[in-house]
Amino acid sequence: IPVSAVLLETQPQGGQVLAGERLVLVCSVAEGTGDTTFFWHREDTGESVGSKRQRSRRAELEIPAVGESHAGRYYCTADNGHGLARSGALNVTVTVPVSRPVLTLSTPGARAVEGQRATLHCQARRGSPCILYQFYHGDVPLRSSSAPSAGGASFSVTLTAEHSGTYSCTADNGFGPQRSDTKSLFVTVPASRPVLTLRTPRTRAVVGDVVELRCEAQRGSPPILYRFYHEDVTLGSSSAPSGGGASINLSLTAKHSGNYACEANNGLGAQHSEVVTLSVTVPASRPILTLRTPRTRAVVGDVVELRCEAQSGSPPIQYRFYHEDVTLGSSSAPSGGGASFNLSLTPERSGNYACEADNGLGAQRSEAVALGVTVPASRPVLTLRAPGAQAFPGDVVELRCEAQSGSPPIQYRFYHEDVSLGNSLAPSGGGASFNLSLTPEHSGNYACEADNGLGAQRSEAVPLSISGLTGSRSGSVATGVAGGLLSVVGLAVLAQLLYYRLPRRAGGRPTSDPSRSPSDSDPQEPTYYNVPGWMELQPVYSNVNPKEGDVVYSEVRTIQEGNRHAAAPNSTLRLLQTHLPSHGPAASQQRLSRPQGSSVIYSQVKVAPLPASAAPRS
């Protein structure tokens, strides 16, 4: 009986087997006699798997089922010498459990940087499809992915700081998940643009202050290296090993004004802050005060320029000027430098000057500068003092010259008829005197000059007549005579009008030469010299105008008297006297008595009838 109805079966049934399990291919025939040869084939590859000959209608072949390579379509044939019969094909599948997957993290560079795309890849070397891959960040499942083929699964992310941490994945194809090793990922955050802040102890940054420069990037993975710049020159650097900002301290000098910036760098590119400008205020230094006068000496009326200047100090600087601690004024230097103040000098402006410079950081005061204001000598007043009411040859008359104002030292010069008699210095001001021992030649006009270097001032002329007689020294003419005497009229009443003429030749005849009288040339001039210091001038000498018609002159002769009048021997005097007995106490003084037996001839002087116009002069 030929073989028929060949059938292929598997153990286990259905052709499904786990890798490594026993797989038996059972080939059987329904009919057939004798010895039968069984063959097993793989249809998809055409290879022969094995054969067996036995007197049986059923044969078994065990084949290895290690991997998927053994999966395929199988069939068998049988032959007992009466014709070959074939079975249908049977699918054999070998299922492989997934192996432990491997997780790989890939980034574009060596470091994982925020913003980059990173890829996580999970792959099991072995394992039959379908494999389900699952990614984990720490313990948190991220995303699952089913891979129909053997390529594994991938997962891409754009990195943020939050993506730092540990990663793992699992693979599962139905026989229990397999977990990969854990991988760490550190996402580096580039430093953000830092902010620079300057902290000063007070509102203004002043030389000597310590200013703290703080640089801080809001974001950025540590460690961050901070660098500080002043006008592009590195001041220093400081590292923040665990993030945050960094500081450096700077002790300010005047050179530290300018622009500051800082830089943050954690290896992913330096970031620069915006520029911060710092202005360092320099306190005003002690100022120097200079006084500029138009000439060597400071003279009343001059304008002196006070210049105050601090060598250093940030503008604006306010300058104040002081005279003896009294503020004179102030002046501002808005852009630095010094300031000036002009002062018109008066005598009271002598003394110490100082100035202050102040730019808000404490006023600095200069050293004091002394200024002496020179007052020009005023027109001096010349007074003549004689021992008695009249001046006689041999008397010592004191010429006193005094300028009411004028800075010392004042040089006084005395003149007789424009001929210098001598000098006298008043080193500490006041007046000066000059003593003159009279000779007959000393009649005439006297004047004096006061000079303290600013132009000589000349007094008015004071005339002196010298009597040939020795006058009474018992009293002085003007003693006790008060202000009424100051007027020309009053003076005139009391005046002794003397006219003295010395003969040119000894023993010669009396001569009369009225033209030599100093006042001759100007009959209109007052006879008396009106000076403020007149009250002190006891004897009043006056020249006389012999031509005046309202007085009566008498001629007086002296007799030779030997040594009593050595200064004027053989002199002939012409005494001219106006006598007005009715006029008060002075009237009694109008005697020209000379005691001590002088050989003088007195003559009465009479008052002539006065024309009205000439009354004051009588």
Ligand X SMILES: *[C@@H]1O[C@H](CO)[C@@H](O)[C@H](O)[C@H]1NC(C)=O
* Binding positions for ligand X, rule: CB under 6 A: 210, 212, 247-249, 303, 305, 340-342, 396, 398, 433, 435
Q: Considering the complex, state which of residue 16 and residue 238 has its C-beta at the smaller distance from ligand X.
A: 238
Compute the least distance from the CB of residue 164 to ligand X, in Å: 30
Cβ 227 vs Cβ 233: under 8 Å? no
Distance (Å, rounded) from C-alpha 489 to C-alpha 300? 38
Coil, strand, or helix at residue 514? helix
- Give 210: exposed, middle or buried? Use CB within 10 Å, 0-12, 13-18, 19+: exposed
Compute the least distance from the CB of residue 274 to ligand X, in Å: 22
Compute the least distance from the CB of residue 219 to ligand X, in Å: 22
Q: Considering the complex, state which of residue 179 and residue 297 has its C-beta at the smaller distance from ligand X.
A: 297
Positive or negative CA dihedral for 124, 127, 133, 137?
negative
Q: Considering the complex, state which of residue 249 and residue 560 has its C-beta at the smaller distance from ligand X.
A: 249
Compute the least distance from the CB of residue 211 to ligand X, in Å: 9
Residue type, 328: L
Tell me the two tokens of residue 40: 């097993």
Tell me the two tokens of residue 430: 């006041």
Compute the least distance from the CB of residue 341 to ligand X, in Å: 6
Q: Considering the complex, state which of residue 6 and residue 401 has its C-beta at the smaller distance from ligand X.
A: 401
Q: Considering the complex, state which of residue 135 and residue 341 has its C-beta at the smaller distance from ligand X.
A: 341
Compute the least distance from the CB of residue 420 to ligand X, in Å: 16
Compute the least distance from the CB of residue 205 to ligand X, in Å: 14
Q: Considering the complex, state which of residue 239 and residue 593 has its C-beta at the smaller distance from ligand X.
A: 239
Cβ 452 vs Cβ 409: under 8 Å? yes
Tell me the two tokens of residue 426: 């008043």
Q: Kindly tell me the number of DSSP H helices and DSSP E strands found in the chain.
A: 1, 49
Compute the least distance from the CB of residue 311 to ligand X, in Å: 20
Pairing mode, if any, of strands 280-281 and 205-206? parallel
Q: Considering the complex, state which of residue 239 and residue 249 has its C-beta at the smaller distance from ligand X.
A: 249
Consecutive H or E run containing 429:
none
Q: Considering the complex, state which of residue 425 and residue 615 has its C-beta at the smaller distance from ligand X.
A: 425
Consecutive H or E run containing 491:
helix 488-494
Tell me the two tokens of residue 14: 């259905």
Compute the least distance from the CB of residue 110 to ligand X, in Å: 33
Coil, strand, or helix at residue 526? coil
Q: What is the 3-state secondary structure (H, E, C) of 376-398?
A: CCCCCEEEEECCCCCECCCCEEE
Compute the least distance from the CB of residue 213 to ligand X, in Å: 9
Compute the least distance from the CB of residue 342 to ligand X, in Å: 4
Length in residues, the chain: 618
562: region left, alpha or beta (phi > 0 left; psi from -120 to 50 alpha): left
Q: Considering the complex, state which of residue 245 and residue 468 has its C-beta at the smaller distance from ligand X.
A: 245
Q: Considering the complex, state which of residue 124 and residue 343 has its C-beta at the smaller distance from ligand X.
A: 343
Q: Considering the complex, state which of residue 82 and residue 385 has its C-beta at the smaller distance from ligand X.
A: 385
Compute the least distance from the CB of residue 151 to ligand X, in Å: 56
Residues 6+ apart with CB under 8 A from 438: 391, 392, 393, 394, 395, 396, 397, 466, 567
Cβ 158 vs Cβ 117: under 8 Å? yes
Distance (Å, rounded) from C-alpha 394 to C-alpha 470? 9
Distance (Å, rounded) from C-alpha 589 to C-alpha 608? 20
φ/ψ of residue 534, rounded to 5:
-65, -35
Q: Considering the complex, state which of residue 61 and residue 250 has its C-beta at the smaller distance from ligand X.
A: 250
Instruction: Provide, for the chain, the percentages of residues in helix, strand and coil under a 3-state DSSP scheme, each rounded to the nearest 5.
Output: 10, 40, 50
